[in-house]
A = this chain, B = another copy of it.
Amino acid sequence: MAALDRLTECLSKLPGIGRRSAERMAVRLVAEPDGVLRELRAALDEAAATVRCCARCGGITTADRDPCRLCSSGDRADGTLCIVEQPNDILLIERSGGYRGRYHALHGKISPGRGEGPDALRIETLLRRVRAEGFTEAILALSTDMEGEATAGYLAELLRKEGLRVSRLAHGLPAGSGIVYSDPVTLARAIQGRVEA
């Protein structure tokens, strides 16, 4: 069943999808060739035709709007740049309502294990923007895993050399949770980063 294997292989390349989930998805798709498979093909065609990544920030935009709404808005704070890994991180931060500046999506993180160094990321574009758009502060909103930490360390050094103030998201307890649910590393960081009550 080579075609099923290829579909499984392809789905398992998507973020968060392991081999067995991919197989389950593939089988569901072929079990309903006139249902969800046809629907997915149409949705992919439509998305390929109309959705793009913004050439400036790397976030999601439509084919007829590049730079994107967030890059071209006159209503955002110009001095601050929030750097994220993936385009959908921008959507999540926008929904939080906690940020009003500009964005830059790297499309990945430094991952020596998978042979992905800084060259695979949108860092050249980042430096070009930093020089052209006059940012004074960069916020690194990256993963707190080892690869995210390595990427943050690399970028912090690079951006400080460009004269920017560089900060990172606070580590701490999630809202609506208690210390009983927290792991030791998070807890240690929350104590370190304590704020006046």
**Interface on A for B, CB 8 Å cutoff?**
1, 3-4, 6-7, 9-11, 13-17, 20-21, 23-31, 33, 36-41, 43-53, 58, 60-62, 86-88, 91, 107, 180-181
Nearest-neighbour CB distance to chain B for A36, whole angstroms, equals: 5
Chain B residues with Cβ below 8 Å from A87 are: 27, 31
Chain B residues with Cβ below 8 Å from A61 are: 1
CB nearest neighbor in B for A45: B41
CB nearest neighbor in B for A20: B180
Evaluate contact between A4 and B180: CB separation under 8 angstroms.
no
Nearest-neighbour CB distance to chain B for A82, whole angstroms, equals: 17
In the assembled complex, the Cα of A36 lies from the Cα of B43 at a distance in Å of 14
Evaluate contact between B51 and A3: CB separation under 8 angstroms.
yes
A7 CB contact (under 8 Å) in B7, B37, B44, B86 = B44
Given the interface contacts A24-B88, A60-B1, A91-B23, does A41 sit within 8 Å of B43 by beta carbon? no
Evaluate contact between B51 and A30: CB separation under 8 angstroms.
yes
In the assembled complex, the Cα of A43 lies from the Cα of B181 at a distance in Å of 29
Chain B residues with Cβ below 8 Å from A16 are: 21, 24-25
Further contacts, 11 of them, CB under 8 A, given A4-B60, A10-B36: A10-B43, A13-B39, A15-B28, A16-B21, A17-B25, A26-B47, A27-B88, A28-B86, A30-B60, A33-B48, A38-B48
